[in-house]
Amino acid sequence: MRCLVLSDIHANIDALEAVLDAAPAHETVWNLGDVVGYGAAPNEVIERVRVLGTTFVRGNHDRACGERSSPHLFNPLAARSVLWTRRRLTPAHVGWLQAMAPGPVVPDGPQASCMHGSDRDEDEYLSCLSDAREPLRRARTQINFFGHTHVQGGFALEGGGWRNLAPPYSKGEGVETCKVRLRPDGRYLINPGSVGQPRDHDPRAAFAIFDGEEMTVIFHRVPYDLRRAQLRILHEGLPGQLAARLNAGR
């Protein structure tokens, strides 16, 4: 089974449409959370993704925008966007966010876990190998997908050695892909990257395709109409930094 793995769309409909256009054939979609927050099209993004699959893991922004936690836990920029998103969301979409399950979730299909931050805390950032050691040792599944850092790649423990999975792209303008073969004896924490607000200095939208038969992950980067996403943010009166950071990819 081939799975399209999405994370951190962050209400960026322009990036999401580009990802769905570019995604190769797949049977299912796994979504690792932060569908909303920061971007200017929360209702449009929820309408588009909610019909794509049944596997959704709640992110910290989904929790706050769905009124399950206080926006004051966030930095001021994120808190402003949570309050704006709450005012914009339809009651049905608030209800959909409230019903999202916190991770880890083990979907039907190939054996893997899906989480937002880590398996024990959706707010925990797994940013470097030392962050990943404990979560990977205690993981119940060999393959574990996570998001939250907005950095594509992840970490592998193979034959007793650790490996960083960040793709070595040329950082060109077009579409780029990077295929990673998963070893039967390896253990993996894999981040598909952020669709709508990458923070790995590459502004292109990120996603991954996981093939459970072939045991491969193909990381993708695709350009999208970034200017359009920025204009939506500015038009809605959201902070200009939220538009500017899309260019910078951070």
Report the DSSP beta bridge partners of residue 31: 6, 56
H/E run at residue 137: helix 129-138
Block residue for tokens 């792209």:
169
Q: How far is the CB of 37 from Zn ion (least distance, A)?
A: 7
Instruction: Choose, by CB under 5 A, the member of 14, 34, 62, 176 that binds Zn ion.
Output: 34
Q: Which C-beta is closer to Zn ion: that of 62 or that of 119?
A: 62
Sheet holding 55-56, edge to edge: 55-56, 28-31, 2-6, 205-211, 216-222, 176-181
Q: How far is the CB of 33 from Zn ion (least distance, A)?
A: 7
DSSP at 158: E
CA neighbor of 220 nearest in space, from 23, 44, 53: 23
The phi and psi torsions of 207 (rounded to 5 degrees) equal -160, 175
Residue span 56-75 as binding mask against Zn ion, x where in contact by CB under 5 A, dash where not: --------------------
> Rule CB under 5 A: which of 188-217 touch Zn ion?
none
DSSP at 41: -
Part of the chain binding Zn ion (CB under 5 A), chosen from 7-15, 121-129, 172-180, 206-214: 7-15
Part of the chain binding Zn ion (CB under 5 A), chosen from 1-9, 106-114, 136-144, 199-207: 1-9
User: What three-state secondary structure class fits 239?
Assistant: coil
The phi and psi torsions of 76 (rounded to 5 degrees) equal -60, -40
Q: How far is the CB of 34 from Zn ion (least distance, A)?
A: 3
Q: How far is the CB of 147 from Zn ion (least distance, A)?
A: 6
CB atoms within 10 A of CB 150: 22
Residue span 154-193 as binding mask against Zn ion, x where in contact by CB under 5 A, dash where not: ----------------------------------------
Block residue for tokens 């979609």:
29
* Residue 8 engages Zn ion in binding (rule: CB under 5 A): yes
Q: How far is the CB of 38 from Zn ion (least distance, A)?
A: 8
Q: How far is the CB of 15 from Zn ion (least distance, A)?
A: 13
Part of the chain binding Zn ion (CB under 5 A), chosen from 14-22, 30-38, 100-108, 168-176: 30-38
| Interaction site with Zn ion (CB under 5 A) | 8, 34
